[in-house]
Structure 1
Amino acid sequence: MRIGELSKATGVSIRSLRYYEEQGLISSQRMANGYRDYHSFSAEQVKTIQFYLSLGLTTEQIAGFLHCVMTSKEAFCREIMPVYRSKLKEVSEQIELLQAIKANLEERISHILSENPEMEMNENGNETDQT
């Protein structure tokens, strides 16, 4: 299948498919006219890549275990657990940071409203004119 067909079959842009190929995540054969020719299995690979990208993993991380998950069940791929644990730690740290920022913003809003109770916000967070 040609790159345009693979793009249509997976919903992934041609530019992204070329990037995946540059990263070694998918491969193609070159036809006599220079066009890329992808195996029908490539559509499943691309969908698998998209799934792991949706988990926040990088193409470099995915490259470390893609072959294994394409040939075995994920549960049997030892390479994946350290990646998952690392990503979970990273996400947890980001959540903690965002919660701290949220608490600080709530405190600032409360402080401002305690000093100036006439200042009210509409549902979009914009000041409303109370005059």
Structure 2
Amino acid sequence: MTAVLIRELSRRTGASIRSLRHYEEKSLLAPQRLENGYRDYAEPDVDKVKTIQLYLGLGLSTEEIALVLECPQEAATNRPLCKEAYRLYQGKLAEVERQIQTLQTLQARLQERLSQFENSASLR
């Protein structure tokens, strides 16, 4: 069996070597060690790293990702099938909606300020 070393895993996933080491520190990846000390990743780790990247892109922390990765996965879609993941997604969506509301409020205030400047004689 051919070893998948960290450089190859990085190339195949687009994740930096530093990120892969970080995932290992957070127990998201658990490579074997070769006699020379090099990390030896299994073929499924390629998909696992891509899944980790997907979850990071959704705004999940590495601790939250660890919880989701522990869930059983639906074979066809590779989606987690546990209540913890569902609750996590609900919480993340609520957080995003709060952030959107905050940004919309900020946008309205900035638009109001700009209108005040544009209507004043000081810009003319």
Q: Unaligned 5+ residue runs, structure 1?
A: 120-131
CA distance in 2, matches of 1:22, 1:75: 23
Q: Report the 3-state secondary structure (helix = DSSP H, G, I; strand = E; otherwise coil) of the residue aligned with 1:51.
A: helix
Q: Paired residue for 1:31, among 22, 30, 34? A: 34
Shift of 1:112: 1.2
Is residue 108 from structure 1 mapped to residue 108 from structure 2 by the alignment? Answer: no
Q: Paired residue for 1:84, among 51, 66, 89? A: 89
Q: How many residues align?
A: 119
Q: Paired residue for 1:12, among 10, 15, 35? A: 15
Amino acid at match of 1:78: K
Shift of 1:71: 6.7
CA distance in 2, matches of 1:56, 1:85: 12
Quick one: structure 1 residues 20 and 71, their matched pair in 2 at CA, closer, same or farther if it must change by over 3 Å? farther
Amino acid at match of 2:92: K
Q: Report the 3-state secondary structure (helix = DSSP H, G, I; strand = E; otherwise coil) of the residue aligned with 1:68.
A: coil
Q: Paired residue for 2:79, among 74, 85, 88? A: 74
Is residue 96 from structure 1 mapped to residue 111 from structure 2 by the alignment? Answer: no
Kindly provide the CA deviation profile for residues 15-58 of structure 1, in whole angstroms up to 9, marking residues without a partner as x.
00000000011111111101111111100100011111111111
Amino acid at match of 2:28: L
Shift of 1:108: 0.5
Quick one: structure 1 residues 117 and 55, their matched pair in 2 at CA, closer, same or farther if it must change by over 3 Å? same
What is the aligned-residue RMSD (CA, Å)? 1.7
Q: Percent identity?
A: 47
Amino acid at match of 2:97: S
Larger CA Rg, structure 1 vs 2: 1
CA distance in 2, matches of 1:88, 1:39: 33
Amino acid at match of 1:61: E
Q: Report the 3-state secondary structure (helix = DSSP H, G, I; strand = E; otherwise coil) of the residue aligned with 1:103.
A: helix
8 Å Cα contact 2:68-2:84 kept in structure 1: yes
Shift of 1:113: 1.2
TM-score, normalised with respect to structure 2: 0.88
TM-score, normalised with respect to structure 1: 0.83
